[in-house]
Amino acid sequence: MLPCFLLFWIVLRCADSFSVRVPPGPVVVARGATASFSCEFEPDLNLSNLVINWQRVEDDRVVHSFYYEKDQLDRQSSDYVNRTQLNHDELAKGNASLSIANFGLKDAGKYLCTVSNGKGTGKGELQLVYAAFFSEPRLSIHLKSSDVTVQYEMESYPRPEILWQGSGGQNLTNHQEVSSASDGGLYYLKSSYVSQKSAFNVTFTLINPAAHQELQRHVILSYDENMNSGTSVVALSILCTLLLCSTGLLLWLYCRAKQR
């Protein structure tokens, strides 16, 4: 018969060996996507002893609970109602993976996975990071007598990195406006490049490190130096005259046909 102190030591060792494993680094989830993340533990074939509880670290809100061999959602935070799901097929394999549908900015933060079964109890903490892929930048060009402004507008999260470069790679970034993130979890950004020249070649680069997204757009503005304003006016006058003459001829032919 084992001495009491030895039996107690064995029990402590078994308890220490029970661990809960979650992703070690931050998990990036795109806006509107379904977040799915694992929580692994040493399985026990007797699921009647299994208790799983997911909750937010910041304020202890209950995200999802499982015990008595079924989901227990009476204490679930209203923020997660009808949005969470455990993969019940994986529970017997030691995986309490959780899914959160329609992930948004308010869902970002730290989550605690607590698991208890016949083999022990353990906890694991992980962090979810929210990111939104930026929309296709909308281009507009504003012409003035003194300068030309090229402007891009877009939405994303977090605040992206912006770079304007000349044809030689020189940094031309000189103006941008950013509004704070809205309830929808997006930054609205407006960035522009102003040139005193009527012809230029620039590259617009947009980087979203959190979403591992990068986009480049090239803007080339040129004009025909051989065409002066006088030539343009003469050409326009000739074109208008030809259009008027052709229109008058068509009307005259139409009236002649009606008379017949």
Instruction: Let me know: does 141 contact 150? Beta carbons within 8 Å.
Output: yes
Identify the residue whose tokens are 């309830």.
Answer: 183
Q: Are residues 94 and 164 in the same domain?
A: no
Give the end-to-end CA distance of the chain in Å, rounded to a whole number: 127
CA distance 130 to 156: 11
CA distance 156 to 253: 60
Q: Are residues 124 and 143 in the same domain?
A: no
CA distance 54 to 20: 12
The CATH number linked to 185 is 2.60.40.10
- For residue 233, tell me if it sits in a domain: no
Instruction: Let me know: does 202 contact 150? Beta carbons within 8 Å.
Output: yes
Q: Are residues 124 and 164 in the same domain?
A: no
Express each pLDDT in 39-76 by its tens digit: 999 999 889 999 999 999 999 999 999 999 999 999 99
Domains in the chain, number: 2
On the question of pLDDT at 17 being above 80, the answer is no
Name the residue range of residue 189's domain: 138-221
Q: Are residues 178 and 194 in the same domain?
A: yes
Q: Are residues 144 and 89 in the same domain?
A: no
Q: Are residues 27 and 120 in the same domain?
A: yes
- Residue-level pLDDT at 236: 38
How far are the Cα atoms of 50, 60, 67 from residue 195, in angstroms, in the given order? Answer: 67, 54, 66
Last residue of one domain, picked from the residues 131, 154, 179: 131
- For residue 126, tell me if it sits in a domain: yes
On the question of pLDDT at 214 being above 60, the answer is yes
